[in-house]
Amino acid sequence: MDYKVEDLIKMLNIQNMGTLYQNKDLPFVDRIINPQNYPTPSIFDEGGRMQTHFMSATPDKEGNWYAYPNIIFEDGEYKKLDLNEDQALEYAKKSGNVISFGKNKDAAIDFSKNYKPEEFKKYYKGLLQE
């Protein structure tokens, strides 16, 4: 079977994995790369599925796109932010829990949906639903 390079990159999630490792010092990224260093998340959705980050992708007023978590780990516990989009982005910027994608809307949205590496999924196997 022949694959195009673009298809292989997407299948292997290479672009998003590169973004993670370029931003490995951010608190929410560290939780993705090193989940074993954090307690088991304590926030669940209506279906009973564990939520670890609940990512968003949002533009600012200048049209720059950002990805950030709406579930944070702060003071030794998980917290789900109850903020509107503008407030959540501002909170993420102030806390350093944000990745800038410049004007690249598609990259920000893709990252917010496909940020979990296979190792992360394996760590939470049986707890996270795809």
> Is the residue at 67 inside a domain?
yes
pLDDT at residue 6 in the model: 52
Residue 128 lies in a domain: no
The reply to whether 17 falls in a domain is yes
130 domain-assigned? no
- Tokens 């994995």 sit on residue: 17
Which of 54, 36, 34, 35 has its CA nearest to residue 44? 54
Give me the chain's average pLDDT, please: 86
Which residue numbers in the chain have pLDDT < 70?
1-14, 126-130
The alpha carbons of the chain give a radius of gyration, in whole angstroms, of: 15
- Identity (one letter) of the amino acid at 45? D
| pLDDT for residue 118 | 82
Domain assignment present for residue 129? The answer is no
Q: Is residue 101 in some structural domain?
A: yes
Is residue 3 helix, strand or coil?
A: coil
> Which pairing describes strands 65-69 and 71-74: parallel, antiparallel, or unpaired?
unpaired
Count of beta carbons in the 10 Å neighbourhood of residue 67? 27
User: In the Cβ-directed half-sphere of 97, how many Cα atoms lie within 13 Å?
Assistant: 24
pTM over 0.85: no
pLDDT per residue as tens digits for the range 67-103: 999 999 999 999 999 999 999 999 999 999 999 999 9
Q: Considering its fold, how many domains does the chain have in total?
A: 1
Residue 63 inside a domain? The answer is: yes
